[in-house]
Structure 1
Amino acid sequence: MAAKSVVSPANISAIDEICQERVIHVEHVAAIRHNGLPVDDALRIATLFSVLSDPTRLQVMHALLSSPTGELCVCDLAAGLGRDDTTISHQLRVLRQQKVVTMRKVGRVVYYRLVDEHIRHLLRMGIDHTAEGQISGSAVDREVAQ
């Protein structure tokens, strides 16, 4: 009896990931060309995801998302996250430059909030996705591989 071939990331070569034919589904190619994401849009989205790739920024965003008022001042964020004001201010500046958070100043206190529901939804989706064990390298993936 022949042994079953098991496909795993370890035994997939680069050639296995490339079609051996040039075009199989002409209608799919036409749809991609017609509906494709323009390069400028792709760059803006990539920049947004790049900004979201920093763990400290994600912790700041999560704190803002979880705040009962939807906003927090820099000093409360820093104290709550166990970081110094300078670190948190820097991360908030990056988030503000990319239009992820907005700020308002009351006297000497600066309050930040997530800019809109799109950002809140994106963060919630990321949290839900990782909680389900969908990220490669997660504990669930390691269990399945064993």
Structure 2
Amino acid sequence: MIVKFLTITVLGGLSFVVLLMLAPNIEQSLSESRISHAYNQVRYLADPHSSDSDDGLGPPVDPWGQPYQFVNDEDRIVRVVSFGPNMSSPADGFDDDDIYSDMPKSPMEAIKREKNLQWLFAFGISIATWILLTIAFLRSTRCVQK
């Protein structure tokens, strides 16, 4: 009985290793943190009520070391733009990783949705692995006992 319990526990440990292999990595979280910071910063810089005092540090830069771009449109609305991780943008608009102050939705919404799916997949595969290995083990011990 104790051997079965220990074996099932070891199978749980193997399933935990599967979970760790499928879970989102730390570097991905660092990139997501930079995107979130850039989005918050462009919203702050575009706010007409934010502090406009010159602190002598030069123009503000995004998390990738590039200066934010300030663009005035025909309605005299200021749009603040970060070119994002690829540090470039097409001449006629934005590409997928550009971050700008009047985005309809935060870029973090899609990232959170993707992260939740990654965790759901990792937990699902890990639990399924443990269940299948445990069933296979219990069936093999039942065959040996006969």
Normalization by structure 1: what TM-score? 0.30
Q: Which has the larger radius of gyration?
A: 2
Normalization by structure 2: what TM-score? 0.30
